[in-house]
Amino acid sequence: MNNPLLKSFIVYNIGEHKIIKSFKDIFSDIYSTALNGYSSLLKLLLTSQTDLCTALHNMIVFSEQELVWKYIQTNDKLILKAIEYDVEIIKELSIINASDIKKYLSEKFKTDLSEMPEYEKGEFPYDASYFIKYCDENGSGIFAEYKAFIYDGKNISPVLHRDPVKLSDLKLYEIQRNQIIENTVCFINNKPAVNTLLYGDRGTGKSSTIKALLNEYSSLRMIQIDKSQISRLFDLYDVLREIPLHFIIFIDDLSFSEDDDGFFALKQALDGSLSIKPDNVLIYATTNRRHIIKETALNRSENYVHKSDAVDDNMSLSERFGLFVTFSSPNKDQFTEIALKIAESRGLNIDKDTFTAGVERFALKRGGRSPRIAKQYVDMIEARLALGLEIK
């Protein structure tokens, strides 16, 4: 069995990856190191429940690929040859069966390893052009492996378990959602698109609509930031403008107190700074407040000298969002329809009159009607049906 790792990688930053380190150990002249290398590789593949070729594929596409990006931009033939060279090394690793390794180690160290378990090899039908295209369409590093992120003002961290909500899970509000969907489709197709503010009552599906976009469009990435980090938006812009993917910056429950630095920072980030927002970035924000700047008793007073300034500030921020979409609480009939549609989509078998009376009682107890409350009622009904309990 030949050792492909006598060659070194040029393009892909994978030299310290667990798979590569395991193979390096397998080719060691020290028995304990070689045996631990095979055991580590086996454990890695069994833990991830994948075959060797799939693991090698993921190792490449989820690595940092600065030179691949440079090739995509320049079509430099020397870089292409380097990419092809690295992929050929991986291809040599991909054809190694577990039985090949056991035979190799048994002969090298004069021992019997036939009873050791084996891994699935799989297939590796990929070449350099495939990995270049994958990088171009899906990014590299964490941006290829994940789609949702949190920005804390310094670091961009992946969301390991993102909300699985889909647009098809959301009922009614089609007019509102279609506006947001059309804007997003324009954005990911490099057509003019605008920053968007979703305003409305609590529980009407504003945040869910934004999160559902991420599960609808594979080329989209989303970064959520807290209101307290808005002043760091320009730092985030500088990072994202160098990454050839489409990013939505998501700000939930937007509101500011008077003289809040974040208010002025957001105005500039949207429109009003010498530094422009990157073309591959949009801001989608939600708010429950008609007045994004929280009013005090003083500035609500008719005698407040600067009342018009407070109104102007609210308007100046809202106007910087090119799309303003309103989500109002549903009336009784709409609320019932939402609940029924959710129940129907889950295949729940329940008498309509019983269900209608029950969801209305539930809403009255909760003090209001919203899609969120409708979903909570359906969740409860689904659980009770599964357990054979009485429907209330």
- Sequence-distant (6+) residues with CB within 8 A of 389 are none
Mean pLDDT of 42-55: 97
Q: What's the pLDDT at 312?
A: 54
Task: Give yes or no: residues 119 and 12 share one domain.
Answer: yes
Relative to beta strand 156-158, strand 148-151 is antiparallel
What one-character DSSP code corresponds to residue 265? H
Q: How confident is residue 290, by pLDDT bands cut at 50, 70 and 90? A: low
Confidence of residue 297 (pLDDT cuts 50, 70, 90): very low
Which of the 8 DSSP states describes residue 392? -
Same domain, 135 and 206: no
Identify whether residues 265 and 177 lie together within a single domain.
yes
Q: Which two tokens stand for residue 61?
A: 């596409």
Domain boundary pick from 139, 174, 209: 139
| Residue 363: half-sphere exposure toward Cβ, Cα within 13 Å | 26
- Is the same domain home to 79 and 127? yes
Q: Give me the CATH number covering residue 175.
A: 3.40.50.300
Average pLDDT over residues 177-187: 98
Range of lowest pLDDT (50-59, 88-97, 259-268, 343-352): 259-268
Q: Please provide residue 240's backbone torsions phi and psi, each rounded to the nearest 5 degrees.
A: -75, -30
61-71 mean pLDDT: 95
The better pLDDT of the pair 274, 46 is held by 46
pLDDT score recorded for residue 315: 64
**31 three-state secondary structure:** helix
Length of the chain: 392
- Which residue range is the domain that position 277 belongs to? 146-327
Instruction: Tell me what pLDDT residue 228 has.
Output: 87
Distance CA 309, CA 69 (A): 48
Q: Which residue from 187, 182, 215 is spatially nearest to 278, judged by alpha carbons? A: 187
pLDDT at 304 over 60: no
Statement to judge: residues 244 and 352 lie in one domain:
no
Interval 112-142: pLDDT, tens = 999 999 999 999 999 999 999 999 999 999 9
pLDDT at residue 176, rounded to an integer: 96
Q: Does the structure show a pLDDT above 70 at 218?
A: yes
What average pLDDT does the chain have? 91
The answer as to whether 392 is a domain residue is: no
| Gap between the Cα atoms of 237 and 158, Å rounded | 17
Using the structure block, give the residue that is written with the tokens 């590789």.
41
pLDDT tens column, 184-206: 999 999 999 999 999 999 999 99
pLDDT band at 294 (very low <50, low <70, confident <90, very high): low
Answer whether residue 295 shows pLDDT above 60: no
pLDDT tens column, 225-258: 998 899 899 999 999 998 889 999 999 998 877 6
Dist. CA 392–CA 384, nearest whole Å: 9
Which of 80, 106, 96 is closest to 5 using CA atoms? 96
Cβ 221 vs Cβ 348: under 8 Å: no
Amino acid letter at 156? I
The count of domains in the chain is: 3
Structural domain includes residue 76: yes
Question: Do residues 134 and 164 share a domain?
Answer: no
Rounded Cα distance between 183 and 323, Å, is 9
Cα distance between residue 196 and residue 238, in whole Å: 21
